[in-house]
Amino acid sequence: MTLTDYLINAVFIVVVLRQARERRLDVRSFVAPMALVVFVASHYVHTIPTAGNDLELVGALTAVGLTLGVLCGFTTHVRLGADGGRFARVGWVAGSLLVVGICSRMVFVFALHHGAGPAIRDFSIVHQIGAAAWPVALVAMALFEVTSRLVVVQLRGRRLTVSYAPPSPVAGSPA
């Protein structure tokens, strides 16, 4: 991993920590993280490898990211404010899921460069996975984790409605 890779992952962890504070669900809460997703995708993904079982690896790690993101989205606290605004806050479970995803990718790359490289190379050869598939798969995992969480939280926020309505008089009943 390069210094840039560590810094991008550190930014992701800071974003998770910032989300522990309640924030309003609005356009900015969706657009800013999606801009980061687009930046990361354009920085790391230039081609999608299709040789051997590369697509299977990309698909498997994408599914892991999607699962973590959806679980995190459903465990994020979402509420309706007194002013009708929608608010979200990452709790312990959601934050833990996000950190598990981030740290698992960092640990994999750290292990790759600090002794596990031959084992990963052997695994890749046996399963016909090219070297170009690993970075794409790890980035796809991250992108789907972040995107699915954002979408689930935004959809949950939109579904919230004011639950209290004054009772309306029923025809024929005493007022």
For residue 10 the two structure tokens come to 């550190």
Tell which residue, 13, 18, 3, has the closest CA to residue 142.
13
For residue 126, is pLDDT > 60?
Answer: yes
Q: What pLDDT is stored for residue 43 in this prediction?
A: 83
Residue 79 belongs to what H/E stretch? strand 77-80
Tell which residue, 64, 95, 74, 66, has the closest CA to residue 154.
74
pTM above 0.85, yes or no: no
Q: What pLDDT is stored for residue 72 in this prediction?
A: 95
Q: Tens of pLDDT along 44-85?
A: 888 888 888 999 999 999 999 999 999 999 999 999 988 888
Q: Model confidence at 2, in pLDDT bands (50, 70, 90)?
A: confident
For residue 167, is pLDDT > 60?
Answer: no
Q: Model confidence at 87, in pLDDT bands (50, 70, 90)?
A: very high
Q: What pLDDT is stored for residue 83 in this prediction?
A: 86
Characterize the bridge pairing of strands 86-89 and 77-80: antiparallel
